A and B are shown apart, each in its own frame.
Chain A
Amino acid sequence: MIRLNGWSAIVILAAIGIFLAYGGARALGEVGFWTLVTGSEWYPTIAEPRFGFVPLLIGSAAVTITAIFLSMPVSLAAAVFISEFANKRVKEVAKSIIEFMAAVPSVVYGLIGIAIVVPGVKEAFNLDSGLNAMSGAIVLAFMIAPTIVSISEDALHAVPNDLRQGSLALGNTRWQTTYKVVLPSASSGVLAAVMLGMGRAIGETMAVLMLTGNAARIPGSLFESVRTITGTIAAEMGNVVQGGLHQSVLFTLGLVLFAITFLINLVADLVLEKQRRRWRR
């Protein structure tokens, strides 16, 4: 039964891949995969349309990587606090807040971003518009925090207590014990947490669609408007001709996104498995 479930997961994954490839077949045939992936212009609706993914890939990368850099220090600190320093009561409250953060719909994050972050970024950096990669990344940083916090916390929690005791008994403070023994011991789990956060960030659609300004061109800085892979698919899919080339190109774009998230999650899982095996001695 378990094996059946395992296989069915693989079958479903393969089916998604095949479905996306099938939908993108026309684009892959007429434009070609390489031209799509390396093309630097995205003008899908002009008379002679240009379908280049590069601005979208850069848009997604800019927002995702910035979000990770913003979220990681705070999330990791939160995980360390919850796992190593908080007492039982505080731990429970903190965990339910994190769960609640994960449960907020992304469109609500988008609205909060529009109301607070966009004007804030505009003010703070003295810009004409706050609808840019930075605003998207800031809101995204909050959205991926629950993933990073809870998985890092699991990894820290899995470090055997023996090691903490051993370090304390050698005349180390709790803090020294945390950064000299516990964090290094949990490093691969923390890495996996960050990667899963990244997978979540790159797949996020609604909030970035609302906040990044959606200009599909290669940005010069984080304070310019960008368009992400997900935002493009969501914004344009409703306006395309059924069975047309544009629709097929969007399917291919979906296939690329699927491949990226699949790879990130796969690597994260392998890293996590390595971490689990470590304490099985």
Chain B
Amino acid sequence: MVTAQSHAGKGSFDLHDVSVTYGSETAIAGVSMHIEPNAVTALIGPSGCGKSTLLRCLNRMNDELGNATVGGRILLDGVDVYDKEYDPVELRTKVGQVFQKPNPFPMTIYDNVAYGPRTQGIRKRSDLDALVERSLTRAALWGEVKKDLKKHAFELSGGQQQRVCIARALATEPEVLLMDEPASSLDPISTQQIEDTIAELKEYVTIVIVTHNMQQAARISDKTAFMLRESMEHPAFLVEVGETRTMFTNPGDKRTEAYITGRFG
């Protein structure tokens, strides 16, 4: 039996002057912020402002794009994840990701969720069973699928597929869960379910969520970071970051206020 690991207090990020360059184009620059553990941090901003790019820095998925260079320092619980010695594969077991479009693997629900743990060498059936149940429960899907764990994941609805993906990411017991507009391709009811799930998840993991939807950020996040790219000649930057309630009622920057009240973006 695998005991439920508690990462309480773990999974905090510190970003110091982070920049990302694709080839010769600098996409984002000068981002410094602290991401609190066991809280939901929302990254908001207009399209193309580098939210997703910044998110992908946190689990080094930018590495896979080939031509992206990340500058500055990113510390996870005080450890520089861009250190030459740091293995990105190792990092990704601590920092999971849920993508914009549900991307279950073409296999059963069970095998999808057990995918990460199996990679980590967990083979015992009872351990896997327990992990699958716990992860699906946390993703608020267990009740709906416990009888059809052998069902092919493609047979589920879009919302259910996305929650399989959340369960799959949770199954490796990460400290941080990155979510890139996880509800953008879903209907309102599925979106609601995903949001409810997120609210419960922060008990176990730190959540960083990119969202286009301001109301969603206001509803689900504790902290909000507003990013902006003012022109294509200049890289995107972090305008401000703070308590969500403050940001939405009394933003410190005029541009934040303008964006939040819907004057652009």
Contact = CB atoms under 8 A, between A and B. Distances in A.
A170 B115 contact: yes
A172 B119 CA distance: 7
Contacts of A87: 66
A163 interface: yes
Given A169-B96, A170-B172, A281-B154, A163 B61 contact: no
Given A162-B101, A176-B119, A169 B92 contact: yes
A160 B96 CA distance: 20
Contacts of A162: 99, 101, 103
B93 interface: yes
A184 interface: yes
Interface in A130-171: 160, 162-163, 165-171
30 contacts: A87-B66, A163-B105, A163-B106, A165-B61, A165-B99, A166-B103, A167-B105, A168-B64, A168-B92, A169-B92, A170-B92, A170-B93, A170-B115, A170-B119, A170-B169, A171-B90, A171-B91, A171-B92, A171-B93, A171-B119, A171-B120, A172-B89, A172-B119, A176-B119, A180-B115, A180-B119, A181-B105, A184-B107, A185-B105, A281-B154
Interface residues of A, number: 20
B116 interface: yes
B97 interface: yes
A62 B225 CA distance: 67
Nearest to B64: A168
B115 A167 contact: yes
A172 B93 CA distance: 8
Interface of A: 87, 160, 162-163, 165-173, 176, 180-181, 184-185, 278, 281
B172 A166 contact: no
Nearest to B100: A162
Interface of B: 59, 61, 64, 66, 89-93, 96-97, 99, 101, 103-107, 115-116, 119-120, 154, 165, 168-169, 172
B209 to A, nearest CB: 15
A-B complex: 3 closest residue pairs judged by Cβ atoms: A171-B93, A162-B103, A169-B97
Contact of A171 (B64, B89, B104): B89
A42 to B, nearest CB: 48
Contacts of B104: 166
Contacts of B59: 169
A175 to B, nearest CB: 11
A181 B89 CA distance: 16
B86 to A, nearest CB: 13
A184 B90 contact: no
A160 B103 contact: yes
Contacts of A168: 61, 64, 92
A169 B90 contact: no
A184 to B, nearest CB: 7
B116 A170 contact: yes
A171 to B, nearest CB: 4
B106 A166 contact: no
Contact of A169 (B61, B105, B154): B61
Contacts of B96: 169-170
A169 B169 contact: yes
A281 B107 CA distance: 15
A277 to B, nearest CB: 11
B103 A171 contact: no
Contacts of A171: 89-93, 116, 119-120, 172
Nearest to A159: B106
B173 to A, nearest CB: 11
Nearest to B178: A169
A166 B102 CA distance: 10
A106 to B, nearest CB: 38
A71 B167 CA distance: 41
A11 B99 CA distance: 49
B110 to A, nearest CB: 15
B228 to A, nearest CB: 26
A157 to B, nearest CB: 16
For B59, B99, B119, the residue with the greatest tally of chain A CB atoms inside 10 Å of its CB is B119
